[in-house]
Structure 1
Amino acid sequence: MAARVPLPVTLLLGAALALQVGYQAVRAPPHRVASKLEDAPPLAVLRLASLGEPVALAKAMTLHAQGQDAADTPLNSIDYVALRSWFERIVDLDPRGQAPLLAASQVYAASSDPARTRIMLDFVYCRFGEDPDRRWPWLAHAALVARHRLHDAALARQYARAIRTRVTNGVLPAWARQMELFILDDMGEDDSAKALIGAMLASGQVSDPRELAWLERRLHDISARQRQAHP
């Protein structure tokens, strides 16, 4: 059974939505095709309507926004621009909340429409920079979506590079730090891969002996492959 929204939270959201003509109730009734999602109210309006409880309002807004994709509502029928505006406001109200970033990268990025997928990935990338140490998992998933669903290796590399360079060393696991290298290898960019490995080894970014040994083997393998290709 779905969790019920506490009455005070419902009233807070109702106050915010009342300031915008045409907004719906916090949750759409089950088994009903959701009506068109309108753009989220301005942040200033929401802060005023929250009555000092922005996190509670953000949670209620999350239920409302995600209530638009009922089981019988295809992802491609949802207005992703409006949906992104809701996710933006939710993150503004509750910066520590992860639900919008999770939903954007793992649920709504699954749209078969590349334009819609890119809207969600760009949202994750833009908000990642505000809190890289906590938001990197969603950008890592976005990188995988960019590479394997959109077949956009350049975009995937952009996301992977951001993870490698902007997340605190002790926070980031080895596989995430090496994502950019795997993407370069997949692209056949041997020179760039060698440069990246050299930079990682020289910078002291990697301290684990096993990872250092793996990077050195990768560097050796790439060099050997290049010598075979150009004797």
Structure 2
Amino acid sequence: MRAAPPPSTQRSAPRHVLLAVLLALAAQIGWQAKQASPRAHAHDLPPAPSLAALQLAALGDPVALSKATMLYVQGFDEQAGVSIAWRELDYGRVIGWLQRVLDLDPRGQYPLLAASEVYGAVTDPVRARQMLDFVYARYAEDPNRRWPWLANAALVAKHRLHDLPLARRYAAAIRQQATGAGVPPWARELEIFIAEDMNERDAARALIGGMLQSGQITDPHELQFLARRLDQLNADHKQDHKP
């Protein structure tokens, strides 16, 4: 027969000791949970590098670098652990980067689209005007391709900024400079509607008359529309000046 094993010498800890250990562990966990986690800090957008430096870095492919640079700028509002509102960005620096993107690829449209429809949509009127003025400044370099973004800038100036003179200045630039066949009638006529909104009907009549006499408009439907609109304005003018 096997000998019986000797009695165990291990003794369980008293319950009050176990309870004290559990309470201490719970207190430690609670203290750790209350400690503030490290806060992520947003970094400012750095100034845009010189065009010469970017051209050197492009290694003969400025269009590819232009697209990569635009992605960098567009993604800057989302940093690790931080989301930056557009209105908190340094718009002067944002414009500097958009300038460089456009310089690298003058045929690219995205910098002007972003300026007029994204960064220009902020509720801060000062920042919005900065972006709209940037679009206006670069528009004249290629009016027949860049007119959509200036037209959008005119609408932003009219409906969001409630600045009709600014909207008309943008619309006038479209009428005067965007003369290509691909420019739609509504874009050329935008200044007329804004002049009417400003209650400057005489100016609207003069604009329509000038467009009809210029010979630039050849589409019969557009000519018919403008002629009808001019007749209506002339009739209103006579009605307003009846003795």
Q: Distance in 2 between matches of 1:184 and 1:69?
A: 38
**TM-score normalised by the chain length of structure 2:** 0.79
Q: How many corresponding residue pairs? A: 200
Q: Is the alpha carbon distance of 1:34 and 1:66 closer, same or farther for their aligned partners in structure 2, counting shifts above 3 Å?
A: farther
Tell which structure's C-alpha radius of gyration is larger: 2
Q: Tell me what 2:160 maps to.
A: 149
Contact 2:144 2:180 in 1 (8 A): no
Q: Tell me what 2:10 maps to.
A: none
Q: Tell me what 1:107 maps to.
A: 118
Q: Distance in 1 between matches of 2:188 and 2:75?
A: 35
- Could you list the per-position Cα deviations for residues 206-230 of structure 1 after superposition, in whole angstroms to 9, with x for gaps in the alignment? 1112211111111111111122222
C-alpha RMSD of matched pairs (Å): 1.4
Q: CA deviation at 1:203?
A: 0.5
Q: Distance in 1 between matches of 2:137 and 2:221?
A: 33
Q: Distance in 1 between matches of 2:200 and 2:41?
A: 47
Q: Please, which of 215, 219, 226 is the counterpart of residue 226 of structure 2?
A: 215
Contact 1:34 1:68 in 2 (8 A): no
Q: Tell me what 1:96 maps to.
A: 107
Quick check: 1:83 aligned with 2:94?
Answer: yes
Task: Show structure 1 runs of 4+ deviating over 3 A.
Answer: none
Quick check: 1:68 aligned with 2:76?
Answer: yes
Higher relative contact order (CA 8 A, sep 6+): 1
Q: Tell me what 2:49 maps to.
A: 41
How is 1:167-178 mapped onto 2 (pairs within 5 angstroms)?
Answer: 167-178=178-189
Gaps of 5+ in 1: 1-31
Q: Is the alpha carbon distance of 1:52 and 1:225 closer, same or farther for their aligned partners in structure 2, counting shifts above 3 Å?
A: same
Contact 1:68 1:78 in 2 (8 A): no
Q: CA deviation at 1:169?
A: 3.7
Q: Residue type of the partner of 1:98? A: Q
User: SS in structure 1 opposite 2:76?
Assistant: coil
How is 1:3-82 mapped onto 2 (pairs within 5 angstroms)?
Answer: 34-70=42-78, 72-82=83-93
Q: Is the alpha carbon distance of 1:194 and 1:79 closer, same or farther for their aligned partners in structure 2, counting shifts above 3 Å?
A: same
Q: CA deviation at 1:34?
A: 4.6
Quick check: 1:122 aligned with 2:133?
Answer: yes
Q: Tell me what 1:192 maps to.
A: 203
Q: Residue type of the partner of 2:164? A: A
Q: Distance in 2 between matches of 1:114 and 1:135?
A: 23
